Chain A
Amino acid sequence: MRRHLISAADLSRDDALLILDTADELAKISERSIKKLPTLRGRTVVNLFFEDSTRTRISFEAAAKRLSADVINFSAKGSSVSKGESLKDTALTLEAMGADAVVIRHGASGAPHRLAGWVRGSVVNAGDGTHEHPTQALLDAFTMRRRLGPLDGRRVTIVGDVLHSRVARSNVLLLATLGAEVTLVAPPTLLPVSVGSWPCAVSYDLDAVLPKSDVVMMLRVQRERMNAAFFPTEREYSRRYGLDRDRVAKMHDDAIVMHPGPMNRGMEIAAEVADSPRSTIVEQVANGVTTRMAVLYLLLGGANLGGEDL
């Protein structure tokens, strides 16, 4: 594996399986009374969050702390960043503080790539703009694997705003690496024009795809899209692409429903679907911590073999 985790495309199949296998072992530790491991004692992990995301930050924080790393939370709000400090200056500050890893969430696609050029530590992408969110894809794959076994040949349907979704990008890449068959379902306005070059199938018809799906992953619809003519109304979106009880009835018995959160209940997913036994939404949160522990351990647990990166 490389020194950084910025894109799901950075992961070979072996890398991805190693992370998932490691997470499997670490999941057992989460079940015992002493959850802490001494592995990253003396290492510093900085959570550098330019966007509010309490869920993701807490997940990374819990992961780092369970590995005994020192955690510094650097939120852009109320810091020098909001006073106009550049990403580069922030990076140099972190460098001076001796960060072994920087977990970055940023509104601009590619910000983690830029950061990786300015710091010596490992950079973990916790979501950049509309680009990628690789640890979300890893925790999703981990969740699927726990419910369904190996992912080779499994049919995963991802529904919603693919155009703006970093979760979708990372999932398509990782699931393709792991041998799953991905189908994207969305109104054409919410798909990149180049989606034909992605390693997945595309459909505009959710009802046609559901019966063949082992996994249905619903993406959050951002409120601001509704005002930008990507689709006529919330109601129409929900009618064509929302997952309600009638649609779930078309899925086969073992198929699962996923959502990266936070959900718009009643919009892309009906409340009763989100709370059904098929739903893995709560597991996904728990699995986030163990998956991120695995990533931090594998990036930081060994010798820093600098120069192996991008």
Chain B
Amino acid sequence: MTDAVSHARDQIRGPAHAVLEGPDINRALIRISHEILERTKGGQDVVLLGIPTRGVHLARRLAEHIRQFEGRAVPVGSLDITMYRDDLRTKPARPLGRTELPADGVDDRTVVLVDDVLYSGRTVRAALDALGDLGRPRAVQLAALVDRGHRELPIRADYVGKNLPTSKSEIVKVYLEENDGRDAVVLLKEGDK
């Protein structure tokens, strides 16, 4: 099993091209925060659940924006989906991320799942399964910083930072200050691999 964090080891060479820089990301998150507030009557009963690793940082940022706009502390948690993935058998076993629910749980709340990139939809499918084992939210919504298309399941995001048309051979990489020391979304070509 060893290193499950192979995706963090992406030393993929090739023309890297930042599609979003720090300020763009910030603007997108502010917009999403406003949208969440609009769609949830000022953030009532909202719980933000980030999908590790970067989804958690994004969820915290969204919560911080909401707190600034509305003065309301929206509960934030994390939801690890590793044990629910449908592609476990294709890679060595990976370490688990954290699942931390706010103290009051998710029952009868509006849960907004937060992830960095929406792609096939399989992560979200796994997240919905994981969530179902934790409680019964009133509604589940989805926020993604980037939607790169190529869905393989009937899933769509309620809040999108940027729609990014890609080819399947491209790789979308999100860097966040908390994790990577800088904010950027980069499009990598797979060509040189």
Contacts and interface: CB of A to CB of B under 8 A. Distances in A.
Interface of A: 1, 14-15, 18, 21-22, 25-26, 28-29, 32, 34, 36-39, 67, 297-305
B133 A22 contact: no
B179 to A, nearest CB: 18
Given A34-B133, A302-B89, A303-B90, A18 B95 contact: yes
B83 A39 contact: yes
Nearest to B86: A38
Contacts of A303: 88-92
Count class of interface residues, chain B: 20 to 34
Contacts of B93: 297-302
Nearest to B92: A302
Given A37-B133, A303-B92, 5 more contacts: A21-B95, A21-B96, A298-B93, A302-B93, A304-B89
A32 B91 CA distance: 28
Contact of B1 (A1, A26, A29, A32): A1
Contacts of B116: none
B60 to A, nearest CB: 19
A25 B84 contact: no
Interface of B: 1-2, 4, 80, 83-84, 88-99, 129, 133-134
Secondary structure of the B contact surface, majority rule: loop
Contacts of A300: 93
A305 B88 CA distance: 12
B99 A25 contact: yes
Contacts of A305: 92
A22 B84 contact: no
Contacts of A29: 99
Contacts of A67: 83
B5 to A, nearest CB: 11
Given A18-B95, A26-B96, A298 B1 contact: yes
Counting chain B CB atoms within 10 Å of each CB, the highest count among A14, A21, A25, A34 belongs to A25
Contacts of A1: 1-2
A21 B90 CA distance: 22
Please provide the 9 A-B residue pairs with the shortest distance between their CB atoms, ordered closest to farther.
A302-B93, A301-B93, A302-B92, A25-B96, A34-B133, A39-B83, A37-B83, A298-B93, A298-B1
Nearest to A305: B92
Contacts of B83: 37-39, 67, 297, 301
Counting chain B CB atoms within 10 Å of each CB, the highest count among A22, A298, A302 belongs to A302
Nearest to A40: B88
A269 B96 CA distance: 38
A38 B129 contact: yes
29 contacts: A18-B1, A18-B95, A21-B95, A21-B96, A22-B95, A25-B80, A25-B97, A25-B98, A26-B96, A28-B99, A29-B99, A32-B134, A34-B134, A37-B83, A38-B83, A38-B84, A67-B83, A297-B83, A298-B1, A299-B1, A299-B93, A300-B93, A301-B88, A302-B1, A302-B88, A302-B89, A303-B88, A303-B89, A304-B89
Nearest to A28: B99
A292 to B, nearest CB: 15
Nearest to B98: A25
Nearest to A17: B95
B95 to A, nearest CB: 6
B136 to A, nearest CB: 11
A115 B98 CA distance: 36
Given A1-B1, A32-B133, A298-B1, A22 B96 contact: yes
A39 B130 CA distance: 11
A302 B91 contact: yes
B78 to A, nearest CB: 11
Contacts of A297: 83, 93
Contacts of B90: 303
A305 B91 CA distance: 9
Contacts of A15: 2
Contacts of B84: 37-39
B56 to A, nearest CB: 14
A102 to B, nearest CB: 18
Nearest to B88: A301
A45 to B, nearest CB: 15
B133 A39 contact: no
A68 to B, nearest CB: 10
